[in-house]
């Protein structure tokens, strides 16, 4: 099952739980699974049906550009982290 990591500053919503595992095939299902376990957490991650623009989702160490549609594998790690804007060359 995918491992979903709870960001430090959302852990008050999970009573300190740092990591959960549950079945999910994409990020949308990850968010739904989090919301089922920790009601209210979804509003911190999703807005207007999309991952908040200031957030990034990293799956297996790689930031995905697919948002809620991104596929999650059975052994994947999923992280929600602040998005990074680049600086230029």
Partner 1 sequence: MAVTTVSTVEEKPKYKVVGTRPIRHDGLEKVTGQARYSADINLPGMLHGKVLRSPHAHAVIKSIDTSRALALPGVEAVMTSADLPQPSGRVADLGEGAMMNPKFLSNNTLASGKALYKGHAVAAVAAVSQHVAEEALSLIDVEYEVLPPVLNALDAMKEGAPILHERLFTADNPFVRPGGLRDDADPEGGSNVASRFVFEMGDLEKGFAEADVVVEREFRTKAVHQGYIEPHSATAMWNRDGHVTIWCSSQGQFAMRDQSALILDIPLSQIKVIPLEIGGGFGGKTLVYLEPVAAWLSKKTGRPVKVSMSRQEVFEGTGPTSGSFMKVKMGATKDGRITATTASLIYEAGAFPGSPINPGVQCMFGPYDIANGRVEGYDVVINTQKTAAYRAPGAPAAAYAAESVIDELAEKLNIDPIDFRVRNVAKEGTRRLTGPVFPKIGHLETLEAAKNHPHWNAPLEGPNRGRGIAAGFWFNGSGPSSATASVSQDGTVILVEGSPDIGGTRAAVAMQMAEVLGIPAEDVHPSVGDTDSIGFTSTTGGSSVAFKTGWASYEAAQDIKGQMIERVAYIWDVSAEDVELTHGVFHHKSDPELRFTFKELAGLLLETGGPIVGRAAVNPEGVGSAIAVHIADVEVDPETGKTEVLRYTALQDVGKAVHPSYVEGQIQGGAVQGIGWALNEEYFFDEEGRMTNSSFLDYRMPTSLDLPMIDTVLVEVPNPGHPFGVRGVGEVPIVPPMAAIANAIKAATGVRMTNLPMSPGEVLKSLWDDEEGKNAG
Specify the stretch interacting with partner 1 by CB under 8 A; choose among 21-29, 31-39, 55-63.
Answer: 55-63
Please, which residue, 10 or 28, has the CB nearer to partner 1?
10
- Whether residue 24 contacts residue 72, with contact meaning beta carbons closer than 8 Å, is answered with yes
Asked if 87 interacts with partner 1 (CB under 8 A), we say yes
> Who contacts 62 (Cβ-Cβ below 8 Å, separation ≥6)?
none
- Whether residue 28 contacts residue 4, with contact meaning beta carbons closer than 8 Å, is answered with no
Asked if 26 interacts with partner 1 (CB under 8 A), we say no
Point out which residues bind partner 1 (CB under 8 A): 5, 7-10, 44-45, 52-56, 58, 60-65, 77, 79-89
């Amino acid at each position: 099952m995918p491992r979903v990591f709870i960001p430090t500053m959302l852990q008050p919503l999970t009573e300190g739980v740092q990591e959960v595992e549950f079945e999910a095939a994409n990020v949308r299902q990850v968010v739904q699974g989090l919301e089922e376990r920790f009601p209210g957490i979804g509003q911190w991650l999703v807005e207007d049906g999309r991952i908040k623009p200031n957030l990034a989702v990293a799956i297996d160490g790689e930031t995905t550009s697919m948002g809620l549609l991104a596929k999650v594998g059975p052994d994947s790690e999923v992280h929600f982290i602040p998005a990074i804007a680049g600086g230029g060359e």
